[in-house]
Amino acid sequence: MTNHAEIIATEKQDAKGANPPIIWPQKANLLPKEIFVRPDVFEEELARIFYGKEWLMIAHEAEIPNIGDFKTTQVGRVPLLITRDNDGEINVYYNACSHRGVQLETATSGNKLRFRCPYHSWLFNAKGDLIGCPNKPGDFPSDFDKSNYPLDRPRMAIVHGLILVTFNPETPPIEEYLEGYIDKIAQVFGGDGNLRLLGAQKVVFHANWKTFHDNDTYHAGLLHTAFQMLNWSGGSGHQTANARGHRSYVGEVTLPEEVNRLKDPSLIEFKGEASECSSASVRLFPISGMTRHLNTIGIRFANPISVDETEVHYTYFGRAEDDEEMIRHRVRQASNLLGPCGMVSMEDAAVFHRLHTAGTTPGNAVFLKGVTDDHGIPEEFQQSDEAANLPGWEHYRQTMGYPKEQS
Ligand code: FES
Ligand SMILES: [Fe+2]
């Protein structure tokens, strides 16, 4: 079946079937809509962004707290295996046997210290060493040595427990890549990376990955009914955004004096010092991010599946020092507020889909809130400015090599 993305791609091809170049509008607050629906753009994004000079968030070490715990995931189409070995160290491997390249592990998560490839029974430990491979003397070349066949690894970094990888040797070191944002990540996590996994949900949005990542702060009080009901719109917060496309948000959350719209107001209770009641988030280019709101701590690990599918793992955390009561509270609050069906985020999926469906229409998307000069990108951003997304779009344009339209 032909989907709408393929239709528009075909319509735009010239007589030889070549795709026309993307020409970016001159004004800094405009985006060409076709980048959201063209399959050729998606393929180029995998190469230039997801396999390019970016660090990609793939897990938090609190997801695999015990020796032998593992998780599998993907960056673009590349499958990865994350293990905690018998020394307690975290390892990230390409999830592919070093013999003929079969995907080694298919479970999403589990606990084991040995991984057996089903094809020819090669056996690896959680450190990625090949520890067994059936063969008789004379079967293999005489210089065969198991130590030459470990699992292959991408570059890896850990920041406040957040595990990131890059496939490109030229990606800057993580400290440089996250300059200015390492402390902000700690702030979202409640001080440091000492977290405890409480649960996870997986969702596939029928929308392009950029639609998910571009979700702005302008919409929160307008789209989400619960934000209005609870009067959380506020306005005193602020955002930051840098030239690598990372952005952050910090805002106060004023608890309503009287909650008469919820049968059980404890759902939106804040446990802790009132002065600590706030909302904070960090979104790292290109796609993933983390949020703290009231007592919820969530990380959204996202991955582009195709031009019109985006998979998001919503993971929910508490602090390692939480008592049982606090854990119960966080579990109830987490997915019920900021999960894919949560009170203050459930409308997002519908809007992502509608944005994507109409991405086939001609013209540009426009950003206005917080824009003071439509040819320039502001440096200061208020709580609800959609302009905070513009530095990321300029980073995207440059990474993709799209020229600006000449006047
Ligand atoms: S491909 Fe894994 S053992 Fe042969
Ligand atoms: Fe939203």
Q: Do residues 244 and 187 share a domain?
A: yes
| CA neighbor of 249 nearest in space, from 363, 370, 113, 334 | 370
**Residue-range definition of the domain harbouring residue 132:** 56-159
Q: pLDDT, tens digit, for every residue of 276-332?
A: 888 999 999 999 999 999 999 999 999 999 999 999 999 999 999 999 999 999 999
Residue from 81, 95, 102 to probe ligand 1 pocket by mutation (most atoms less than 8 Å from CB)? 102
Asked whether residue 336 carries a pLDDT value surpassing 50, the answer given is yes
Where does a domain end: 159, 194, 228?
159
Task: Report which bound ligand comes closest to the CA of 351.
Answer: 2
Q: How many domains does the chain have?
A: 2
265-278 pLDDT, tens digit each: 888 889 998 778 88
Cα 318 to Cα 89, 198, 325, distances in angstroms: 22, 7, 11
CA of 18 to the centre of ligand 1 (A): 39
Residues 71 and 219 in one domain: no
Give domain status of residue 327, yes or no: yes
- From CA 407, how far away is CA 396, in angstroms rounded? 21
- C-alpha distances in Å from residue 312, one per residue of 75, 174, 290, 407: 12, 23, 12, 40
- The ligand that comes nearest to the alpha carbon of residue 117 is 1
Closest CA to ligand 1's atom 4: 120
Atom of ligand 1 nearest to the CA of 117: 2
Contacts of 134 (CB under 8 A, 6+ apart): 120, 121
206 and 146 together in one domain? no
User: Is the pLDDT score of 18 beyond 90?
Assistant: no
Average pLDDT over residues 248-263: 78
**Is the distance from CB of 284 to CB of 181 less than 8 angstroms?**
yes
Whether 265 maps to a domain, the answer reads yes
Q: Which two tokens stand for residue 287?
A: 């796609």
Residue at 6 is within a domain: no
Q: Using most ligand atoms within 8 A of CB, pick from 100, 114, 131 the residue to mutate for ligand 1.
A: 100
Report which ligand 1 atom has the smallest distance to the Cα of 120.
3
SS3 132: strand
* Residue 170 included in any domain: no
Residue after which a domain boundary falls, among 127, 159, 191: 159
Pocket of ligand 1 (CB under 6 A): 97, 99-100, 102, 117, 119-120, 122
Structure confidence at residue 2 (pLDDT): 42
Give domain status of residue 39, yes or no: no
Q: What is the pLDDT of residue 57?
A: 98
Q: Measured in angstroms, how far is the CA atom of residue 359 from the centroid of ligand 2?
A: 19
* CA of residue 327 to ligand 2 center, whole Å: 25
- Domain membership of residue 88 (yes or no) is yes
Domain containing residue 347: CATH number: 3.90.380.10
- Kindly state whether residues 97 and 222 are assigned to the same domain: no
- Cα of 130 vs centre of ligand 2, distance in Å, is 46
Residues 378, 270 share a domain: yes
Same domain, 214 and 285: yes
- pLDDT tens digits, one per residue of 364-384: 999 999 999 999 999 999 999
